[in-house]
Amino acid sequence: MKAAVIHGPGKVTCDTVADPGIKNETDIILKVTATAICGSDLHIYSGSIPQPRPMVLGHEFMGIVEETGKAVTHLKKGDRVVVPFPIACGHCFFCTHHLPGQCEESNPEHYGPEGGLLTEKGGALFGYTDLYGGYDGGQAQYVRVPYADVGPRKVPDGLTDEQVLFLTDIFPTGYTGVDWGEIKGGETVAIFGAGPVGIMAAKSARLRNAGRVIVVDTLAYRLDMARNAAECDTILWEGNTAKDVVEQIRSLTGGRGADVCIEAVGFEPDRSFLDRAKAVIHMEKGSPKVIEACMSAVRRGGIVSVLGVYPTTYDNFPLGQFFDKGIIMKGGQAPAHKHIDKLLGYVQEGKVKLNDIITHRLPLTRIADGYAMFKNKEDNCVKVVLDPWAE
């Protein structure tokens, strides 16, 4: 089969590899009909999260069931399904507490309670390095899906692949930021990052009846997309500090700050030379500058939801500000399984549209172009969807 394989930093190629097979009786083999490149895939592509051996990437995918293991009871060959990105057993302590990303069973080689940089990680993720289970991902023509009675959801008739594809990750992740923010209606929500997750967070804030939604980004074309897709206010982050952005948010909220700030950027934001030098000196990966901006922009007693990936510790974290302002902070892998059924209902009912953020559609054979375009933000790229079967 054809598959997108990482061969080291900056090198993803469409290779011919062996078809996957059933390994456990709870597996299915899925014929992938649509897949996408996620912002977190770029952490592997850039080398910031190491993956020493070649592996198939991708955790946003859907398709048609090709084969089922003997113990699979909820699915049969021919069913069309969308698959949430965490691999969860469904019965361990964390799965039964709606935390599939912390599953105790799916990542036996690297799982642990500590949450370290290179050891004691959480549950497994599709196509996201050996540290997170080493499972091949879905940027391929076929993929093995473990615990198939737990994750995959059947797609209702009448919905296209592109209408539901983002239920795999970015929509549940964006919604999680709003859910952690305890949005009940009328609040001001400031979202840092106008990428796919940030825009989905803005859509989700609208679903939860937020009073005002503000999206911040460093690129004007992404803010244009956010305005068109989520009917939000926007602020362009210019320069190396967030001071002006924070002042603008406060000016819109009576000087208090936003009720909820959602961090949808992660540890690799646009940075100055001095920011990069500091990271080298302190042996840090990337920068927490966007979290710090959120902590300044949120009101006292407000909530900061951290959706972006942060793999390491950071020096001079503003703990004093966190304490003095009484900030509540929540973060981690989104519990996609917890929200996917409700979100699928929103899509089916026409309450939200997901495919309006797609800017590029490519065959899987052009995977290298897709990654380069997405990483370098070329051609106003926001979201790349791949067809594994197109020539």
Which pairing describes strands 12-16 and 2-6: parallel, antiparallel, or unpaired?
A: antiparallel
Question: What distance separates the 2 farthest-apart alpha carbons in the chain?
Answer: 61
Distance CA 196, CA 174 (A): 9
Q: Categorize the per-residue pLDDT at 267 as very low, low, confident or very high, splitting at 50, 70 and 90.
A: confident
Q: What is the pLDDT of residue 269?
A: 58
Tens-digit pLDDT profile for residues 41-56? 999 999 988 899 999 9
Can you give the residue ranges of every domain in the chain?
Answer: 2-169+334-387, 173-331
For 273-295, the pLDDT digits (tens) are 445 444 443 444 578 999 999 99
| Residues 138 and 59: beta-carbon distance below 8 Å | yes
The alpha carbon dihedral of 76, 390, 12, 371 has a sign of negative
What are the tens digits of pLDDT across the range 171-205?
A: 999 999 999 999 999 999 999 999 999 999 999 99
Q: Alpha-carbon distance 357 to 355, whole Å?
A: 5
DSSP state of 289: H
| pLDDT tens per residue, range 102-153 | 999 999 999 999 998 778 999 999 999 999 999 999 999 999 999 999 999 9
**DSSP per residue, 305-346:** EE-S---S--TT--HHHHHHHT-EEEESS--HHHHHHHHHHH
131/120 Cα distance (integer angstroms): 9
pLDDT digits (tens, 9 = 90+) for 63-101: 999 999 999 999 999 999 999 999 999 999 999 999 999
What are the residues facing 36 on neighbouring strands? 60, 385
| pLDDT tens by residue, 220-259 | 999 999 999 999 999 999 988 899 999 999 999 999 999 9
Rg (CA), the chain: 20
CB 196 within 8 A of CB 40: no
Give the type of residue at 168.
T
As given in the structure block, the two tokens for residue 270 are 């646009």
Q: 263 pairs with which residues across the strands?
A: 192, 306
At 298-307, the pLDDT tens digits run 999 999 999 9
Calpha distance 289→271 (Å, rounded): 9
Instruction: Please determine whether the domains at 2-169+334-387 and 173-331 fall in the same fold group of CATH.
Output: no
Does domain 2-169+334-387 match CATH 2.60.40.10?
Answer: no
Q: Which residue stretches of the chain are H helix?
A: 41-45, 161-164, 170-180, 196-207, 220-230, 243-251, 273-281, 289-297, 319-325, 336-348, 367-376
Cα torsion 212, 306, 6, 282 to 10°: value is 130
Partners of 262 in beta bridges: 191, 305
The class level of CATH for 173-331 reads alpha beta
Whole-Å CA distances, 275 to 204, 282, 288, 295, 322: 32, 11, 10, 18, 22
| Structure confidence at residue 21 as a pLDDT band (50, 70, 90) | very high
**C-alpha dist (Å) from residue 309 to 40, 97, 254, 301, 370:** 7, 22, 31, 24, 21
pLDDT of res. 280: 41
In 3D, which of 303, 305, 308 has the Cα closest to residue 288?
308
Question: Quick one: average pLDDT of 340-354?
Answer: 98
* Closest among 227, 266, 250, 236 to 302, alpha carbons compared: 250
